[in-house]
């Protein structure tokens, strides 16, 4: 029988509940236990695909084409697993299902209500995640307790304690503890209030994780235990760390693993942290620094490109360097064209995925700058499309070339809608999505990186390189090194005139893991490091000793 670990949040959102949930998963996984995850997002959107990454962070794409919450990315990276769209439950999905059932007449004349019909649908979906070979499901309830939106979900998980039993359910409450700067004192009152809110809806936490900037002291721990009605050993301190992958170890050192497996009857099991420690060790030993400029649009919120940030860091430590990333809003280069020169202080330039026109002329200037000055370049999705636009304009002489996403009237639509996207009226869930095979051409940089002819990568796009322009782009020297299996779609481009210039129509960052960097990112960061160290000859870089 699968166990359920419910993770709730208190005081404020964005305190790293996802990291704690993923860490709990890792703590169980190193004991040989099989863990699955559910992230509950109480918003009414059916999925994250229609949310602005600037307000809500990156959209994480799963193998099966789900456009999901970025916390699924933490679960995948922390446990080296593949999640699915079913790991992300939203209010939108629950209500769509309940209303569809009501319209079909499935409720046979009953009055359809939040309790039991909505809560039953929530429980059904959570239980689905426990089916099969799963020892424990970590269920992270998004938002903070007390939010109107999360009430039906908290009611559903409260009921699950009754139905599944005390020994099969565990409530972990993650809440902020404030530190007074002047005195260094820990203030737990807000945390106490959030625990009271939990109790008022009928849930007594079994574990409290006090989230603070520094490790809490014994007095604060005692206070949290006393007011939380918990033994002190059920109170854990999670604090700011330099490298996020340290969090599972921090919790483990305080005894979280032992506590959870005893409480849920999952033990005894000896943890094996070897692989994890290898990653932490690599991080601490990374002797170099590489400076990477990520030139995009949603640069005010670090979470907008979180998988890219992590992929650069994974690649960095495997190349022996820490990646120092600057997020640069490219509108700057449109307003002040001379400022583009600032990019010469970077070892690598990355143009990430994106949508819409804002900032794109600036992105095209960044691409031109890296091509002309031979600064290692990686383009992701939109980054590939804009690289083709740049090449068409400045190398092929097609001066007004554009993507029809940016200019529907362009005389040279070098990037155009995928044929199946024409006439598409609904925006939600209709892009070319999820994991698809790609044929990688031998003798190319891409093949040297991936060292195989077929790879699988995750996609999220509506536009592609227009086949009418393949001949001129190739004649002028652009290499198409990856294609869809039918040969109709360009998946990877490279410019052999440069030391390292690669762009992918897919999003390789979703497959990057701390213990297994993604080859395109690894090649890019390695090229950036080699440039920095002055070994600029890289037309045939020595790369990748790791399987994708
Ligand atoms: N806007 C582009 C498209 O829809 C690129 C998408 C992306 O970068 N994910 O094809």
Work out the burial of residue 452: count CB atoms within 10 Å of its CB; fewer than 13 is exposed, 13-18 middle, 19 or more buried. exposed
- Ligand 1 centre and the CA of 296: distance in Å? 13
Q: What is the SS3 string spanning 429-488?
A: CCCEEEEEEEEECCCCHHHHHHCCCEEEEEEEECEEECHHHHHHHHHCCCEEEEECCCCC
Residue-wise pLDDT tens digits, 266-292: 977 899 999 999 999 999 999 999 999
Question: 301: pLDDT confidence band, cut at 50, 70 and 90?
Answer: low
Joined together, the tokens standing for residue 331 give 């509108």
Q: Output the average pLDDT for the chain.
A: 93
Rounded to two decimals, what is the model's pTM?
Answer: 0.93
- Ligand 1 centre and the CA of 321: distance in Å? 30
Residue-wise pLDDT tens digits, 425-483: 888 888 999 999 999 999 999 999 999 999 999 999 999 999 999 999 999 999 999 99
Joined together, the tokens standing for residue 73 give 């990315």
**Residue 13's pLDDT is what?**
74
Rounded CA-CA distance 182/319 in Å is 41
Rounded CA-CA distance 340/163 in Å is 61
Average pLDDT over residues 341-356: 95
**Residue 89's pLDDT is what?**
96
- Ligand 1 centre and the CA of 461: distance in Å? 4
Rounded CA-CA distance 177/192 in Å is 10
Q: Whose CA is nearest to atom 3 of ligand 1?
A: 461
Question: 424: pLDDT confidence band, cut at 50, 70 and 90?
Answer: confident
**Residue 15's pLDDT is what?**
78
- Closest ligand 1 atom to residue 463 Cα is 10
**Residue 400's pLDDT is what?**
95
**Residue 544's pLDDT is what?**
38
Q: Is the pLDDT of residue 69 over 50?
A: yes
Q: Whose CA is nearest to atom 9 of ligand 1?
A: 353
User: CA dist 288 to 24, 135, 321, 372, 519, Å?
Assistant: 31, 41, 4, 26, 19
- Closest ligand 1 atom to residue 418 Cα is 10
Joined together, the tokens standing for residue 18 give 């996802």
Which of 305, 428, 460, 506 for mutating ligand 1's site (highest number of atoms within 8 Å of CB)? 460
- Ligand 1 centre and the CA of 10: distance in Å? 36
Q: Whose CA is nearest to atom 5 of ligand 1?
A: 382
Residue-wise pLDDT tens digits, 223-271: 999 999 999 999 999 999 999 999 999 999 999 999 999 999 997 789 9
- Closest ligand 1 atom to residue 431 Cα is 4
Rounded CA-CA distance 364/299 in Å is 16
Q: Is the pLDDT of residue 538 over 60?
A: no
Average pLDDT over residues 407-425: 91
- Closest ligand 1 atom to residue 356 Cα is 1
Residue-wise pLDDT tens digits, 197-223: 999 999 999 999 999 999 999 999 999
The sheet that has 88-90: what strands, in order across it? 88-90, 35-41, 136-141, 3-10, 169-176, 207-212, 235-239
- Ligand 1 centre and the CA of 460: distance in Å? 7
Angle between helices 306-319 and 274-285 (to 10 degrees): 80
**Residue 266's pLDDT is what?**
93
Given the structure tokens 């490790």, which residue do they identify? 215
* Catalytic sites, residue numbers: 381, 507, 509
Write out residues with Cβ below 6 Å of ligand 1. 353-355, 381-382, 385, 405, 460-463
Residue-wise pLDDT tens digits, 21-67: 999 999 999 999 999 999 999 999 998 888 887 777 899 999 999 99
Angle between helices 119-128 and 151-164 (to 10 degrees): 60
Q: Whose CA is nearest to atom 7 of ligand 1?
A: 353
């Amino acid at each position: 029988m699968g166990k359920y670990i419910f993770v709730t949040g208190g005081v404020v959102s964005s305190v790293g509940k996802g990291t704690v949930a993923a860490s709990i998963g890792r703590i169980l996984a190193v004991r040989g236990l099989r863990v699955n995850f559910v992230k509950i997002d109480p918003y009414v959107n059916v999925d994250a695909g229609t949310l602005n990454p600037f307000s809500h962070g990156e959209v994480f794409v799963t193998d099966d084409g789900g456009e999901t919450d970025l916390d699924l990315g933490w679960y995948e990276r922390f446990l080296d697993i593949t999640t699915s769209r079913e790991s992300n439950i939203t209010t939108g999905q629950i209500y769509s299902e309940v209303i569809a059932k009501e319209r079909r007449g499935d409720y046979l004349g009953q009055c359809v209500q939040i309790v039991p019909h909505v809560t039953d649908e929530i429980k059904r979906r959570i239980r689905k995640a426990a089916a099969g070979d799963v020892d424990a499901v970590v269920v992270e309830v998004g938002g903070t307790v007390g939010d109107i939106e999360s009430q039906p979900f908290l009611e559903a998980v409260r009921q699950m304690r009754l139905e599944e039993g005390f020994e099969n359910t565990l409530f972990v409450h993650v809440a902020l503890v404030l530190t007074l700067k002047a005195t260094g004192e820990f203030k737990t009152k807000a945390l106490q209030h959030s625990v009271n809110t939990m109790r008022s809806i009928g849930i007594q936490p079994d574990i409290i994780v006090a989230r603070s900037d520094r490790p809490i002291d014994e007095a604060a721990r005692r206070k949290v235990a006393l007011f939380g009605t918990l033994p002190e050993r059920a109170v854990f301190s999670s604090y700011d760390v330099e490298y996020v992958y340290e969090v599972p170890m921090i919790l483990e050192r305080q005894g979280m693993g032992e506590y959870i497996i005893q409480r849920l009857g999952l033990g005894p099991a000896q943890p094996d942290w070897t692989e994890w420690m290898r990653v932490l060790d690599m991080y601490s030993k990374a002797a170099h620094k590489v400076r990477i400029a990520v030139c995009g649009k949603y640069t005010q919120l670090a979470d907008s490109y979180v998988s890219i940030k992590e992929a650069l860091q994974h690649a960095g430590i495997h190349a022996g360097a820490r990646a120092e990333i600057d997020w640069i809003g490219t509108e700057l280069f449109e307003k002040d064209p001379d400022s583009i020169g600032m990019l010469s202080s970077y070892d690598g330039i990355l143009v990430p995925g994106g949508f819409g026109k804002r900032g794109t002329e600036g992105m095209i200037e960044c691409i031109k700058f890296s091509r002309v000055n031979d600064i290692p370049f990686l383009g992701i999705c939109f980054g590939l499309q804009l690289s083709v636009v740049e090449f068409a304009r400045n190398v092929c002489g097609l001066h007004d070339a554009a993507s029809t996403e940016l200019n529907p009237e362009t005389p040279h639509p070098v990037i155009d809608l995928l044929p199946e996207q024409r006439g598409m009226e609904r925006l939600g869930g209709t892009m070319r999505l999820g994991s698809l095979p790609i044929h990688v051409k031998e003798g190319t940089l891409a093949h040297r990186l991936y060292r195989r002819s077929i790879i699988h990568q995750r996609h999220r796009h509506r536009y592609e390189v227009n086949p009418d322009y393949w001949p001129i782009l190739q004649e002028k020297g652009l290499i198409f090194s990856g294609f869809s299996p039918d040969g109709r779609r360009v998946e990877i481009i490279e410019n052999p005139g440069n030391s390292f210039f690669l762009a992918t129509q897919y999003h390789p960052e979703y497959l990057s893991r701390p213990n297994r960097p993604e080859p395109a990112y690894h090649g890019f960061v390695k090229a950036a490091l080699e440039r920095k160290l002055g070994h600029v000859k890289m037309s045939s870089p020595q790369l990748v000793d790791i399987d994708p």
